[in-house]
Structure 1
Amino acid sequence: MAYFAPIHRPTSVRHSLTARFTSETEDDLIIAITNRLEVWRVTHDGAVFLHSRAINGTISTLSKLRPKDARRDMLFIGTDMNSYITVWWDDATKQIETPEVIQENFPDFVRASESTDRALVDQDGKFIAMLLWEGVISISRMEDRPKARKGPKSLRFLGQSRISELYVKSACFLPSITGPRIAFLHQKQHDWEEAQISIYPITSDDKHSEPSDFSPKVREHMFTPKDHLTSILIPIPSEFDENNRYHVRRATAAASRAYLGGLVAVGETTVIYMDGLNFEQVQAFLPEATLFTTWVQVDNRTYILGDDYGYLHVLRLVTEGTWVTRIEVAKFSQQISRASTLSYLGNGLLYLGSHYADSQLLRLDFNKLELEVLTAPNSFANNAPILDFALMDMGIRSRENAHRPDFSTGQARIVAGSGIWSDGSLRSIRSGVGADIVGVLDDFKDVSRMFALRFEGAEKVNMVAVSSLTDTRVFEFGIDGSIEELDFLPSLDFSQSSLVIRDVRDNQTLQVTASSATLRHKSSGEITKSWSPEGGSLISNASANDSYALIVVDGTKLISLDLNNQLAVAAKEAEPSADGTEDEVTCLATSHSFPSIGIVALWKSGTISLVNLTTMRISATFTIPKSEDSIAVPRDAALVQIHKENEGNPSLIVAMDDGAVVVFSISLADYSVSSMITVVLGSREGQLYVLPREEDGTNRVLVASDLPSLIHSETPSRHIFSATTFEDVTSVVPFDSDAFPESLIIAANGQLLIGTIDDQRQTHVKTLPLKKTVRRLAYLPSQQAFILACLSKKLVNNEEVVESSLQLVDEIMFRPLGDPLLLEHKSHSQIPESLDILEFYDSIDGKVERLVVGTSYIESGSIETEASGTLTVFGIDEKKNVFPLVTWQTPSAISSVKVKDNLIFVGVVSGIRVFKYTETSPTTGHLEKVASKSSILSPTSLDVCGDIVGVSDLTKSAFFFRFNTENSEAFELIGQHRFNLWPTALACVAPHTWLQADSQGNVIVFNIEKQEKQKNIAERLALPTVEYISAVNIGEQVNTLRPLDITPEAGKLLGSQAIMTTAEGGVYLFGILAPEYRDTLIHLQERITQHIKTLGDLSFAEYRAFRDAIYTEKEPQSFVVGEQLERFLEMSETMQEVVCEGLPISVANARNVIRSLKYMH
């Protein structure tokens, strides 16, 4: 029984359009992302999110219908399940409704279209032509509903016709006054690039109710462009001109004119306009050759084209009246994301949806051919396609078996290689919480600390004091949200930098500066008490709560001031070190949760102590564990109640100067430590800011570091390190005011910002553009770095040149380490196909890590050795440079590599090879071939678990072998999955349990326990076939999956787990459900499905069922879909009771189980 749920939903955008969908007067932007439809309202500056709706099917086509008598558009949506629906916006319910559902089914002998599914709509919004299968066109027509029935119009299917144009590149409707016509851009042969344009009428009768037969005798025109790479047809609307109302065929070519209203054929080097009536042509040559991918209309004469290199072009039809005289094509200067779809929003705004990079909002200047990338919503960020990823445990930098945290705790980090070519990037993906900036207060540099204050008699804070290096400034917040800087405040001295400012009892304000600690009355400013260090010493640091101020003088002398007793002093000199010198205080803090306890950390000893602020006696001392190469010391600390008092002990949080954050769970009764967590949140020290929760007495702690995080509680005794989007923070103060409730004042990037943090779980993605494809990557704990195998493309003398390289980057900020190493052989570049880490122990260096890289040659035919791939083992020197130790050339490309101990299993065309690696010196290695197996035609992925080797064959499915080098036949076949799939990834996720994904979105689970227990030949022959025990279709191609090394815990819902990433940018959690929950959750999922209304009522079971070209299941097999299960939490309590009726689980238990599963992703 298996489970999967999205960690991060897919982000690739392949379809978009603008339509009058929710309003008759304003345009909406409609975006299709895998199986979700999003509606955005177009504004002057961009777009605002309005609505989202999921559909049971991957959206393959999106069009709009606009009947003549309608004021708003309908949408026509097609899915990969050959289901097609029309949808419209219901003003009463504020929901998307579905009036029409069409199911297209064809016999098995009909071949699906090899190009993208197309649904073409004519200009009048009456006819739809669908090209779903090669050589077949389906035609439908909009019909008026009877007057008695309200609502949108319905579709009437006219029929299907055979067409002789098999390989259609593009198609479009032509403007016509006599009846609908369509143009096909096609090629005759699949493997021969050419272009031909054919024009046909859609219907055969005057009433336009019968489809045309599309025979050569009804073909109106055929034309062959000289540019064989012509790939796009753009329909051009016609315009009525009273002065030229009749089209006349000219007697000579010189006198002929092309009227506005036809099509534009876009090629690699030429653009051709063809009149739709007389078929006259106007041709233009492009300034430079390029490959166009998509287009959008601005007006009848202006169009925007997107190319394969990330540039936009403007195409203009220059006319004299309605006659087209010439075509102009010009390129915008800036390079942007490669466009998969374009939607013009008006007023120079353009939406660019991309499959290869972030989607963008652009402002275009057509005169200067310049563009501006506008700030877009976070949801426009795109991770697709994720080619590979690595898991980084932020708490444990070793590969030894240990307890690994769940991804949802924020202690694990996914680093993914996303995008293609110039859109390539690294993406850091972490579990996080919502964090928003709601206002900008002022530009303010050099902020050191901030403090929230309130006027006398105010219930909530209404002032913020900002301390810089030289002075202190105060801002007042009005109830209406107005903000004013104060020139004077009686209770504060503005002329000095402040270490502490705090409201205390009896309407007093405490201000601590470098020279003194002073209590002043709020309204009169009268000094009620002041304290200064003796002998002209300076106050180095200070912290205060409601009862005490803890101060350090000259870096060594600790002072406790009792704020409730007229600053009564209790002092303690720092303990001398072993060499007789005083130990300097590195940081100190007071606790708001425990007012009588202070925290003090010392420099030389590296210890952190809890002190009693009444007596200044040390209550407990803790030593921070250190690694052999670490000399980090504490730089900030906090003692807080993260969990509710009855759910967990207080937490002592310590920020180290190497970027690590250590969390102790301690008992204040005997100061014993029940647990300790170390998490790496940066390469430098972080600052801790306590954010109290008044309603339940708990606290959250914001860590301002390279990887800003919020430490909080989600379940009892469980610390969550959620990522936030607050970057470059220098100071934070909680600010719960009337105008900005439950807010924060944040000093960051030279500005004062007003922000909020909520507990809504979301995934945070941090992007580092690389301008190259990250094809493979791996994590090196000992180097505290990632190794990237990259591809880049550039033009040299108008010829594309591909380079591949290896580059080491640091684990936190991805800064390059050392020099990149080009992967080439005899001046020919190699493609890095696979990458793994080899570890062994050396008597001198201890544990050593080596890189194992399998490659293929880009131009293998021109290489003298006729080798097609190499297996290379690389080392890393002291300067972080990668260097080769040994190389083995293979006659075929290496598609996959897996390291097991000192053995390297290699997948090559026609089989598996096994090499043994030994190292003769720190700079040389040796590879010895020890075994091979030649029954695999094309291995795409392989994994090793114990003595079992699993291999995915591109033309078949999974093979399982027992490997034993002591036998003459090292590989013994113990099982095979006898399906013809296109597998993309395979991994062992648990003993006897294997997970495989294929290109059609299927994820299947094998259990080979019976095959592993075979004892003799008879048993082996009796169990040759392996059947899957669980199967589901996730609607996306999984490119990579990695098992998680998580220690099983008793009573845990999910046992073994894995992370899956997809070509659409999705990240998914896979898990094996505990046996006691399996049947119950399957039945609960079935009940939930019965009571959920989906768009078009498309079947959830069919959408999630396993399917390939030959066989299709009726429903997912023994698989629980997390998103579907979580719909239970959205139901009313009454509906929940209906769902659970008759099931062996109560409503309360069902909610708890589903929430627990949700917390895991």
Structure 2
Amino acid sequence: MAYNYVATAQPPTSVTHSLTAAFTGPNDTNLLLAKSTRFECHLLTPEGLTPQHDINVYGRIAIFEVFRAANEPQDWLFIVTQRFQFCVLAYDAGTQQVVTKAHGSIRDSIGRSSEIVTGGNIDPEGRLIGMNLYEGYFKVIPIDSGKGILKDTFNIRLDELRVIDIKFLHGYNKPTICVLYEDYKAARHLKTYHILLKEKDFAEGPWSQSNVESGASLLIPVPAPVGGVLIVSNQTIVYHNGSTFHAIPMQSTVIQVYGAVDKDGSRFLLADQYGTLSVVALQHTGKDVTGVHLEVLGETSIASSLSYLDNGVVFIGSTFGDSQLIKLNADRDEHGSYIEVLDTYVNVGPIIDFCVMDLDRQGQGQIVTCSGADKDGTLRVIRNGIGINEQASAELPGIKGMWALRETFAAEHDKYLLQSYVSEIRILAIGDEDEMEEREIPAFTNVKTLLCRNMYGDVWLQVTESEVRLISCNSLSLSSTWSPPLGSRITVAAANPTQVAVATSGGVLVYLAVENGQVTEKTKVKMEHEIACVDITPLARSDATNGDVSMTGSPSHWDMAALSSSICVVGLWTNFSVSVLKLPTLEKLTTESLGTDLLPRSVLCSTFEGKDYLLVGLGDGSLMNYELNVEQGTLGTRKRVSLGSQPLSLSTFRSKNMTHVFAACDRPTVIYSNNNKLLYSNINSKEVNVMCPFDSESFPECLALSSEEELTIGTVDDIQKLHIQTFHLNEWARRIAHEPESHTLGVLTVSFTVDDTGEEVDQGFVRLFDDQTFEVLHSYRLDPFETPSSVVVCPFSGDSSSGSYFVVGTAYIHEDEAEPHQGRILVFAVTGIHGERKLQLVTEKEVKGAVYCLNAFNGKVLAGVNSKAQLYKWSETTDNEKELVSECGHYGHTLVLYMESRGDFIVVGDLMKSVSLLSYKQLDGTIEEIAKDLNSNWMSALGIVDDDTYIGSETDFNLFTVQRNSGAASDEERGRLETVGEFHLGEFVNRFRYGSLVMQNNSTSTQNPAAGPTDMVDVGEQAPIVPAAQSQSMLFGTVSGMIGVILPITKDQYSFLLRVQQALTQVVKGVGGFSHKDWRMFENRRSMAEARNFIDGDLVESFLDLPKPQMMKVVDKLNNDGMLDGTDQFTVEDLTLRIEELAQLH
């Protein structure tokens, strides 16, 4: 049996709906965004849009509208999901929470769903909500005018079956709708109806219009007092109110969305399929419209929604490109556009295809996606981790320590960068030309240095093995020294602006104070063993008031936030422990044993989001973290994470006014906090031995990083989990494959242009990209009417060059053909080096159909050509002529859209016949079907979980797994692929790929919470939670831009996580009253089934974001579910640790 854990690596980014509303307060201007299964609430402030809430919905949002209920000071939100669940949401300013005012189902047991779900479903006077959800019926939800509550729903028979659009009209005493529909002769007409709530029926409306333009597709109701409707078609815009009629022509296009600018409806923004933004204005005198005017404003992303915010600022929501915040200016710019882009919001949807590249060979992938569509097509590089943007670098091998120094303590920027080597120091300074140049400051002694920093009182501290030195920043002369007793040497040191702690040989810890430019010994204590590391970092939140020195005025450097510490932390050799000591007495408050062979190499106190922590970097590359109580010097629960395999060196740095911790090792990592959880993002650079912040005027907010060979100064990316780079193509990227040997990507693209007659013309290309710079190296133009459809990197048996090729499948698309009857398989070699790399066509094969998919198969290539799975082998003649030769094939499919292979087994995903398993018989040279899924699933993607288990996604947004029953007794059972897992994902998956966005070995546990059969971790060992899961972990990309991960888990892990899931659903209720169980239920056109053998990782990991009281309720439910089997009860800490470790696997 196969069990899988499904979680989100990146939530949906496509904006399907946007609204401007006063949602969070009567005087607030909110932007509400729907993104597939989530919605966001933003507040418009003078600084721009501020995100306030990001809310997960148990459903795919189909209708998303606001209305003002009776006697309410602010707007309410009405949501209908694709499964016809609805809810009304309001905002409670007191609790700052979204609350549910009403919810229910408007699903009918019979009826065919409407093809088009229209917007504008709420009567302008707030009397009712009306929707055309099923063909031939109009669903009505009356609203109680006094209380603002929803009454029982009912259907009204609607004679117009082929509805194009329905909108409520303004200015009528009775609720009135306008219906744009098409008759059986494909002619389009308008009708209006009054809705009679008491009679639950329609009455004939005030007017109708037969035979409107055949391209009419959109109705825009005009608010009172003007009233009426704008009828938008491909080439005209017509204003109509039953008596007045105004038409204006426009260039042929398809207007997709509109947005009102003025409350009186005198101006509307229109966006078309090409990203052109226009404004249509109604000239009117009182209620009478005298004319209609249209003007093109400029180009934006291809819009899916338009929301006018204020002062000419408009939000452009997009499903095909990045969403934008734009300003409409009064005058045109040099390009003739009125549009100024203020901000851009990344959208990686729709992900048509993607590949996973592991360029560093570290087991951590980065995804390259084919994203967007048409002119908004892009390649997106998505990686987990933080990039260093290099500003300067130099070959400086052998740096052992590095510190930035300011000219004075209060100076805002760093001036010098001091480096320590084995037996000397070098000081680099920023020169007049903004160049780094070496500088001599004689007062610094030129020997190996353990520590340098600015001290309060405008002195620099230098600690060497023989003395502690204070050097005046003003006179550049030595002002004070302290030395250990004769025969003793300083081994490690730590300091803050007013205090120094040094360890001397023999395990002696000495506490020194710095006052008025003088250093004096205050106390010392002999520890049980030699001291390995020490720290006295002040914790700003706790200790700022504890210092002896008070600061006035606003601090210009973050060093000034806290000048002294009340504790000192030391790590010891031999007994592998850390101790917390009180300052100034050095009295021991706490000692924590780390365990055998866990040597502390670096200790650091740090505050994240108001919580104090002690971090301990170990010699094996792992990190311990403890919550720290500074007043009592006690340590909380310990957690351990493996970051690398070499000793860690910990130091703090600032980025965007937040303090973070840098762990230097062979896999350098940034430690930061989000929602009071410590998170770990690796730095996308090779080994870092030493790091120090370097914030100079020439290099603001930089880090100085040294490896064995060189020094790099660079800025750091935003501290977040996923980073996305965008490469604009201005055409549609359809398929992608990576060829590691030549460091290239093969990308299949289609560019769209409009010819003189207004017809769209597509042109297909095979483009070669560099896999690091993403520059286009070469392009191969396909034939007219030829569309690229598949690509794979494939080596061939019998090939004399023994290299890999890009194999490309195409189809010739002709409008008069239902299915393509002609296509090609093209084989390209990459020739040349560096910038001279090119695609060379080695051979081509004409086929009788579209090549929907290709698969590298044991030195041959498999092709899905229309309804046939065909195998081709490589052939070379003596005069070096190369060609593909058909070996065998398998018929019997509808359309072979997807193929994956393992060994001699071939898994086929069919258009509508679900999954089948084929086997290649080498001796016979044939392909036979050995098993198939008897269910009818319309496939959208396919993957292989293991030898006998296959995963599929289908067009109703479900995931399912099927398993081969090779040990069954009868031929019939062996020939059937059994469905063993079902799960409603709520996203349309386009591709599964093996890979992981995180490092292979990055989670371990050191505790033993409730050891038992459900244990997810080999306790005390450095073992991943999900054994061997990472080697088989699978990523998937979706139309909404969501990127997900699927991790195989064991039966025990599944049983445990299922219990956690059930406990969570009892404590945490879905927004809008939607049920988690119903949401994850597998449902397609023919059947419904409860989710099984899949765990909802997003729900499980939401435990980490719960307030403590709710966490305790979940643990209580878990402990009382009757499934403990005699094992110890769980604590909040146990469960948090387990789920945190699980979350770090993706």
**The two structures share one fold, judged by TM-score above 0.5:** yes
Deviation at 1:712, TM superposition (A): 6.3
Asked whether the equivalents of residues 492 and 533 of structure 2 are also in contact (C-alpha less than 8 Å), the reply is no
| C-alpha spacing 1:763/1:1047, structure 2 compared with 1 (3 Å) | closer
CA distance in 2, matches of 1:912, 1:1139: 51
Structure 1 residues 448 and 674, CA gap change in structure 2 (3 angstroms): closer
> 2:830 touches 2:839 (CA, 8 Å); kept in 1?
yes
1:41, distance to aligned residue in structure 2 (A): 0.8
- The CA deviation at 1:76 is 0.7
Correspondence for 1:352 among 316, 329, 332: 316
Contact 1:894-1:908 at 8 Å conserved across structures: yes
The one-letter code matched in structure 2 to 1:222 is S
2-structure distance, mates of 1:65, 1:178: 18
Structure 1 residue 113: deviation in Å? 0.9
Cα distance in 2 for residues equivalent to 1:745 and 1:1149: 38
Distance in 2, matches of 1:120 and 1:836, equals 47
Which residue pairs with 2:1094 in the alignment? 1119
Change (3 A) 1:222 1:711: same
Q: CA deviation at 1:1089?
A: 0.9
Q: Are the equivalent residues in 1 in contact too, given 2:176–2:205 (CA < 8 A)?
A: no
Q: Which residue of 1 aligns with 2:369?
A: 416
Q: Which of 223, 232, 240 does residue 274 from structure 1 map onto?
A: 240
Match of 1:822 among 781, 789, 792: 781
**Do structure 1's residue 871 and structure 2's residue 846 form an aligned pair?**
no
Could you tell me how far apart the structure 1 residues matched to 2:820 and 2:1085 are? 36
Partner SS state of residue 1100, structure 2: helix
Deviations along 1:561-609, one digit per CA (max 9) or x if unpaired, are xxxxxxxxxxxxxxxxxxxxxxxxxxxxxxx9899xxxxxxxxxxxxxx
Q: Which residue of 2 aligns with 1:583?
A: none
2:972 corresponds to which of 1021, 1041, 1044? 1021
1:212 aligned to which of 190, 194, 201: 201
The equivalences for 1:1130-1141 within 5 A come to: 1130-1131=1105-1106, 1132=1108, 1133-1141=1111-1119
Aligned to 2:477: 526
- Measured after TM superposition, the shift of residue 448 of structure 1 is 13
1:606-645 Cα offsets, whole Å, 9 max, x none, are xxxxxxxxxxxxxxxxxxxxxxxxxxxxxxxxx9969976
CA drift of 1:158 comes to 5.2
Number of equivalenced pairs: 909
Q: Within the alignment, does 1:1146 sit opposite 2:1119 as a pair? A: no
Match for residue 901 of structure 1?
Answer: 858
Q: Which one-letter code corresponds to 2:236 in the other structure?
A: T
Matching residue's letter, 2:1049: L
One-letter code aligned to 2:1060: L
| TM-score, normalised by the number of residues in structure 2 | 0.72
TM-score of the pair, normalised by structure 1: 0.71
**1:999 deviation in Å?**
1.4
Question: Structure 1 residues 813, 720: CA separation in 2 closer, same or farther (over 3 Å shift)?
Answer: farther
Q: Which residue of 2 aligns with 1:179?
A: 174
**Conserved? CA contact 1:4–1:1070, under 8 Å:** yes
CA contact (8 A) 2:17 2:34 kept: yes
Partner SS state of residue 942, structure 1: strand
Match of 2:384 among 428, 431, 436: 431
Residue equivalent to 1:470:
431
Matches within 5 A, 1:861-1010: 867-878=821-832, 879-920=836-877, 924-967=881-924, 970-1008=926-964, 1010=965
1:125 aligns with 2:126: yes
Match of 1:295 in 2: 258
Match of 1:1077 in 2: 1053
Residues 1078-1097 of structure 1: matches in 2 within 5 Å? 1078-1097=1054-1073
Contact 2:7 2:1046 in 1 (8 A): yes
Give distance in 1, aligned partners of 2:716 and 2:843: 54
d(CA) in 2 for partners of 1:226 and 1:696? 63
Gaps of 5+ in 2: 397-401, 417-427, 445-450, 463-468, 481-490, 495-531, 536-599, 605-614, 623-642, 706-712, 1002-1021
Q: What is the alpha-carbon distance in structure 1 between the residues aligned to residue 166 and residue 878 of structure 2?
A: 63
> Given residue 191 of structure 2, which amino acid in structure 1 is its aligned partner?
S
The answer for the alignment partner of 1:116 in structure 2 is 117
Assess, with a 3 A threshold, how the Cα gap between structure 1 residues 922 and 792 changes in structure 2: closer, same or farther.
farther
Whether 1:202 and 2:207 are equivalent positions in the alignment is no
Partners in 1 of 2:1144 and 2:328 — Cα distance?
43
What residue in structure 2 maps to residue 538 of structure 1?
A: none
CA shift digits 1:842-892 (9 cap, x unpaired): 8875x40101111111227699x9942112211122132112222222222
Letter in 1 for 2:1142: L
Alpha-carbon contact 1:435-1:758 (below 8 Å) kept: no
The match for 2:303 is 339
Is this contact kept in 2: 1:809–1:815, CA < 8 A? yes
Deviation at 1:336, TM superposition (A): 1.8
Confirm or deny that 1:1053 pairs with 2:1026: yes
1:267 to partner: Cα distance: 1.0
Matched to 1:209, the amino acid is: K
Q: Is 1:169 paired with 2:134? A: no
Structure 1 residue 769, shift from structure 2 partner:
0.8
Alignment partners' CA distance in 1, 2:899 and 2:413: 62
Matched position secondary structure for 2:956:
coil
Q: How far apart, CA to CA, are the structure 2 residues paired with 1:172 and 1:709?
A: 57
Amino acid at match of 2:323: S
Partner residue in 2 for 1:228: 214
Asked if 2 retains the 8 angstrom alpha-carbon contact of 1:61 and 1:119, the reply is: no
Partner AA of 1:1053 in structure 2: V
Bigger CA drift: 784-793 or 832-841?
A: 832-841
Structure 1: stretches of 5+ with no match in the other structure? 147-152, 240-259, 397-403, 406-410, 437-443, 475-488, 494-499, 512-517, 530-543, 548-591, 596-638, 652-672, 678-687, 738-742
Partner residue, 1:453: 405
The residue type equivalent to 1:322 in the other structure is K
Identify the range of structure 1 (335-344 vs 978-987) with the bigger mean alpha-carbon deviation.
978-987
SS at match of 1:143: coil
Query: 1:924-952: per-residue Cα shift (whole Å, max 9, x none)?
Result: 42111111111111121111112221111
Amino acid of the structure 2 residue aligned with 1:873: V
1:464 alignment partner AA: D
1:39-188 to 2 correspondences below 5 Å = 39-44=41-46, 46-67=48-69, 69-108=71-110, 110-116=111-117, 118=119, 120-144=121-145, 153-157=148-152, 159-188=154-183
Deviation at 1:447, TM superposition (A): 13
Q: Which of 337, 340, 346 does residue 370 from structure 1 map onto?
A: 337
The letter for the 2-side match of 1:114 is E
Look up the match of 2:990: 1039
5 Å matches for 1:420-819?
420-432=373-385, 452-453=404-405, 463-465=413-415, 470-471=431-432, 503=454, 509=460, 521-526=472-477, 647-649=618-620, 691=652, 699-701=662-664, 710=669, 722=682, 734=693, 744-745=701-702, 762-797=721-756, 798-817=758-777, 819=778
Going from structure 1 to structure 2, the CA distance change for 1:1002 and 1:383 (only over 3 Å counts) comes to same
User: 1:120 is paired with a residue of what secondary structure?
Assistant: coil
Q: Say which of 189, 214, 229 aligns to 1:263.
A: 229
Q: What are the superposed Cα offsets for residues 1056-1090 of structure 1, whole Å, 9 maximum, x if unpaired?
A: 31111101101000011033312111122111111
Cα 1:367/1:523, change in 2 over 3 Å:
closer
Structure 1's 1134 and 178: CA in aligned 2 closer, same or farther, altered over 3 A? closer
Matched-pair contact (CA < 8 Å) for 2:354–2:736: yes
Equivalent AA in structure 2 for residue 966 of structure 1: L
Deviation at 1:736, TM superposition (A): 10
Following TM superposition, by how much is the alpha carbon of 1:1047 offset from its aligned partner in structure 2, in angstroms? 8.9
Opposite residue 1068 of structure 1, the aligned amino acid is: G
**AA matched with 2:732:** T
Deviations 1:108-143 (A, max 9, x none): 4x1111113546112212221111111110112210
Measured after TM superposition, the shift of residue 521 of structure 1 is: 2.4
Distance 2:879 2:755 in 1: 38
